[in-house]
Amino acid sequence: MYESYRTIRTARQGLTLTLDRPEVKNAADATMHDELSRILHDVARDDGCDLVVLTGTGGALSSGGDIVGMQKKIEDRAIWVKTVEEGRRIFYGMLDLEKPVIARVDGAATGLGATLVVYSDISVAVTGAKIGDPHVRVGLAADDGGALMWPLLVGFQRAKELLLLGDLIEAEEAQRIGLITHVVPPEQLDEKVYGLAERLAGGATRAIGWTKAAMNHTLRMLAAGTMEAGFGSETLSLLTADHAEAVAAFREKRKPRFTGR
């Protein structure tokens, strides 16, 4: 079922999905973004697993979107339309999946990576891991689910400060404010993650799945408004001079000079 995936590795521990572009801290290029939009729907049909562990290689879950690829989206709007459609499938896929998802955060989880964490049902990060959504730092609205989940988890004011500034925070602070569930030393990460996975797999899996579905029903109704508005805002921000400047600055290895245009 999973043989065709090139940027996501699978292993049968429950089912572990490992984002696998370690040379760029698992930044989601076009291939990975497409595969993320499809794999959870395959997982939903996989009778051989009752839960998912989502993680990444190379000491990071994901550093977010591929900034190099953002230039292509500026030049070709059809690529952006495809990206938005995939984004819907990723996050509705996580909300609709009745099998529990545990995020295993072994390092950075930023942008898309952070959104995958907050959409997971349980999250376990190592001490010192960095989490944040710096969309605004590249001139984009923080739409990809963050605008929905962050306020629900940490409250509106704190979420606004973090998303409007694009700041990264350490896992310990993220746990303290309710953004993630657990923080453990690196040597205890797998014991904690797979201990939780074993408990879930050994439980009444149908009752567990239906309990998740009942709670996510409210999130899905909220997503229909907040997430769709967010996709619209990010589409507008893609067209701004500030976003083009951020992409150019990244390519030229300098700080962006934003003008509010």
Q: What is the pLDDT of residues 199-215, one digit of tens each?
A: 999 999 999 999 999 99
Q: How many CB atoms lie within 10 A of CB 252?
A: 9
Give the pLDDT of residue 231: 78
47 within domain boundaries: yes
pLDDT average, residue stretch 122-151: 92
Average pLDDT for residues 136-153, to the nearest whole number? 88
Joined together, the tokens standing for residue 199 give: 């408990």
Per-residue pLDDT band at 84 (split at 50, 70, 90) = confident
Whether residue 135 is contained in a domain is answered as: yes
pLDDT(71) > 80: no
Distance CA 14, CA 228 (A): 32
Alpha-carbon distances of 227 from 43, 95, 174, rounded to whole Å: 23, 12, 22
125 or 223: which leads in pLDDT: 125
Residue 219 lies in a domain: yes
This prediction's pTM: 0.94
Average pLDDT over residues 242-258: 91
Specify if 192 maps to a domain: no
pLDDT at 70 (0 to 100): 78
Residue 195 falls within a domain, yes or no? no
CATH number at residue 7: 3.90.226.10
Res 251 pLDDT > 90: no
Task: Please report the beta strands in 63-153, taking only residues with DSSP state E, as ranges in sequence order.
Answer: 101-105, 108-110, 122-126, 130-132
For strands 130-132 and 168-170, give the pairing.
antiparallel
Selection from 116, 140, 109, 138 nearest residue 36 by Cα: 116
* pLDDT higher than 90, residue 51: yes
Q: How far apart are CA 52 and CA 40, in angstroms?
A: 9
Average pLDDT rounded to a whole number, residues 46-64 = 95
> Which domain, by its residues, includes 168?
1-187+203-261
Question: Do residues 19 and 8 touch, judged by C-beta distance below 8 A?
Answer: yes
Domain count, the chain: 1
Residue 197 within a domain: no
Any domain includes 193: no
Question: Is the confidence at residue 14, as pLDDT, over 80?
Answer: yes
pLDDT for 81 beyond 90: no
Residue 67: exposure state from Cβ atoms within 10 A (0-12, 13-18, ≥19): middle
pLDDT of residue 143: 72
pLDDT, tens digit, 9 for 90 and up, residues 102-129: 999 999 999 999 999 999 999 999 999 9
- 198 belongs to a structural domain: no
